[in-house]
Amino acid sequence: MMAGLRELKKERTRRHLAEVALRLFDERGYDAVTVNEIAEAAGVAKVTLFNYFPSKDCLVLDGVADDTAAVVAGRPEGQPPLAALREHYRRAAAGAVDEIDVGHLLTQVRVIAATPALMAGVYQAHLGRRYELAAALAADVGEALAPLLAGQITAALTTLQESFFQRLAAGTPLEEARRLMAADVELAFDLLENGIKQ
């Protein structure tokens, strides 16, 4: 029971630190805000902040890249990798509406888009995840094809996310944005599995 409460408290502290940082970055710009200011505004010591986030950019980028390699590696025996990924993103699109804080998400996207260092961090995160995905795919499709398939999957998933964010930013209600994302997931994985028919 105590371990559960401790983990809950840690998660609340982690979320609070990220929320405070994001608010400050949105108000003043990422480069204008120091780690000391974030810690002070959050009511914690700087060392506590670094216990949760090893660097300033992690306050914004933590969890930006989905762990597609883990989805592939953890799929049921006999299930093809693309089928596992399709199912994962179907569930994401169908998730409960209250799972997403649209305001927070849009602020995060706005802060990242306005900060070249964070955009580079997103690129690096996606690149690392793509290499991990290729390694997870290699046993199924071979060493030569794995990087190509991982690149195609990553590009498709990045496009799905960007479309989702753009719809929310344009004022599309969350339920409608999720419905459209669900249709996009099916189209994206149909293209990945079957290619473009002419």
Q: 130 and 39, same structural domain?
A: no
List pLDDT tens digits, range 16-59: 999 999 999 999 999 999 999 999 999 999 999 999 999 999 99
CA pair distance 10, 12, nearest whole angstrom: 5
Q: 69 and 49, same structural domain?
A: no
Q: 53 and 70, same structural domain?
A: no
List pLDDT tens digits, range 80-132: 999 999 999 999 888 765 677 888 888 998 999 999 999 999 899 889 999 99
Q: 74 and 24, same structural domain?
A: no
List pLDDT tens digits, range 146-194: 999 999 999 999 999 999 999 988 999 988 999 999 999 999 999 999 9
Taking the whole predicted model, whether its pTM rises above 0.85 is answered as no
- Which pLDDT score is estimated for 181? 94
Helix axes 146-169, 174-194, angle to 10 degrees: 160
Query: How many Cα atoms sit within 13 Å of 82 on the Cβ side?
Result: 18
Q: 106 and 17, same structural domain?
A: no
Alpha helices in 101-173 (DSSP H): 102-113, 116-141, 146-169
Q: The domain spanning residue 52 has which CATH number?
A: 1.10.10.60
Structural domain boundaries enclosing 163: 63-194
CA pair distance 79, 156, nearest whole angstrom: 20
The count of structural domains within the chain is: 2
Spatial contact of 166 and 82, defined as CB atoms under 8 Å apart: no
